[in-house]
Amino acid sequence: MKALINQIIRLRNPGFTFSEEVDGRMVFLFLCRTAFSMFRGLRVLLLGKRPKGLLLGKGVSFWYSHKISFGRFVKLGKEVSLRALGREGITLGDNVSIGDYSKLVVSTTLDNPGVGIRIGDNVGMGEFAYLGGAGGLTIGDDCIIGQYFSCHPENHHFQRTDLPIRHQGVNRQGISVGNDCWIGTKVTLLDGVSIGAHSVISAGAVVTKSFPAYSVLAGVPARVIKVRKPQEIIAPQPSVEPALTVAS
């Protein structure tokens, strides 16, 4: 039974293998919870969408569901909210996991709806994330993201003092995160930021400008503290037979 469940899980996570420390009761409880989540996922049939293995926690909500697109085996935790008011809506790739109490909000206004949110394949995100999409937000494949992650692709104008800031309009440039990035807990990305692929962002960093691939960032505002050099491909060396030593 355990081997069968292991094979089923590998449909979503090909590298998965149960630890020897996981007992039969743990597997049974995991199976029950997953079954309930998949049953909840069937509700998207009422929205005219195919579930494709969708896993839903309790209290998940969809706003403007016709602008939401799901990949295969998407997992949305408890009380996750997807609000897709915008030109492109929300697109979630295959094997995306969004932690409990997270919110993906493209826009909240009908007079100036935003662009959209696009998350690639195999992205895992912790609890309490807030992803705005007004200016456009793109997260590449294979990213791992900690709790309390926030993205804000929009800025308010505030130059005038004779007019409330809320009436001065906004500026939108968008945010993009490349493939294979590791983003720590409580990281904030501000409008106009582009993070190159294979980068690492330390916990608590506030990123206010763009950085190239392989950067390791930390601080407020974030700065480069290290560069991850791409590993050199070393050609295999021909084997050399040891020289024979002949005693005289």
CATH number at residue 71: 2.160.10.10
Range of the domain at 99: 52-227
Domain count, the chain: 1
| 5, part of any domain | no
Q: What was the pLDDT predicted at 248?
A: 36
Three-state SS string across 193-206, please? CEECCCCEECCCCE
Give domain status of residue 104, yes or no: yes
Greatest C-alpha distance within the chain: 102
List CB contacts of 58: < 8 A, sequence separation 6 or more.
Answer: 40, 78, 79
79: nearest Cα among 92, 106, 98, 65: 98
Alpha helices in the chain (DSSP H): 2-9, 24-41
Query: Is residue 36 situated within a structural domain?
Result: no
pLDDT for res 234: 44
Residue 214 within a domain:
yes
Per-residue pLDDT tens for 121-167?
999 999 999 999 999 999 999 999 999 999 999 999 999 999 999 99
**Helix 2-9 and helix 24-41, axial crossing angle in degrees, nearest 10:** 40
| SS3 assignment, position 243 | coil
pLDDT on residue 77: 97
* Cα 27 to Cα 217: distance, rounded to the nearest angstrom: 38
Which stretches of the chain drop beneath a pLDDT of 50? Answer: 233-235, 237-248
- Let me know if residue 113 belongs to a domain: yes
**Domain membership flag for residue 78:** yes
Please check whether residue 57 lies inside any domain of the structure. yes
Q: Is residue 24 part of a domain?
A: no
pLDDT of residue 2: 64
Place of tokens 């408890």: 78
